[in-house]
Amino acid sequence: MTHALTRLLEIAPAPGQPRHTDWVEVERTLAVELPDDYKELIGVYGGSYWDDYLYVLEPGCPNRHYDLLKWAKYQFEDLVDLWRVEKKPAELETEGSVVIPWATTDNGECLYWLVLPGLAPNEWTVMVNEVRGPRWEHYSVSCTQFLASALTGELQSSILSSLFPLSTHEFRRLRAV
């Protein structure tokens, strides 16, 4: 278990039975391996809603609105179209670089993994994109480290809501709608 996941468990105890995910099938569908810390996060928390603001996407999420596989497909298509008219962030200028969404917010901001050619999934870092705008932020941490650090206030984003995190943390596992 990663240090960041241990910190998350201190912030919000695990909600019960771990979920099983067929990671081989998920990674086959995405055509890419995913970071181990994300797989652990989903195994413990599943698709989840943090501090009334941030949704962690899950492959096959019971709430179909937060299915990682659907988000990855649509975000990829949307960004390809967007970058025909807007400049890509500097971090994505490397040929073959992509972003894959792993979380979103109530406001529509999206949190991505920055996937660079030759970089192993456990080395991916986090990018945050504002909703309906060109601003991007890059954080040299894993997704689980980003979540834990954002919840404790160690990491602060100028894109994410100033009301996040809450002073008393709230966690909910996403359910079917």
Q: Between vectors from CA 114 to CA 84 and to CA 86, what angle results, nearest 5°?
A: 20
For residue range 9-24, list pLDDT tens digits in order. 999 888 777 778 999 9
- CA distance readout (Å), 151 to 92, 122, 147: 27, 21, 6
Percent of the chain clearing pLDDT 90 (strictly above): 77
Residue 83: which pLDDT band, with cuts at 50, 70 and 90? confident
- Report the alpha-carbon distance of residue 100 to residue 113 in Å, rounded: 5
Residues 6 or more apart whose Cβ sits within 8 Å of residue 176? 62, 63, 64
Mean pLDDT of 107-113: 96
For residue range 23-62, list pLDDT tens digits in order. 999 999 999 999 999 999 999 999 999 999 999 999 999 9
Residue 82: which pLDDT band, with cuts at 50, 70 and 90? confident
Residues 6 or more apart whose Cβ sits within 8 Å of residue 70? 64
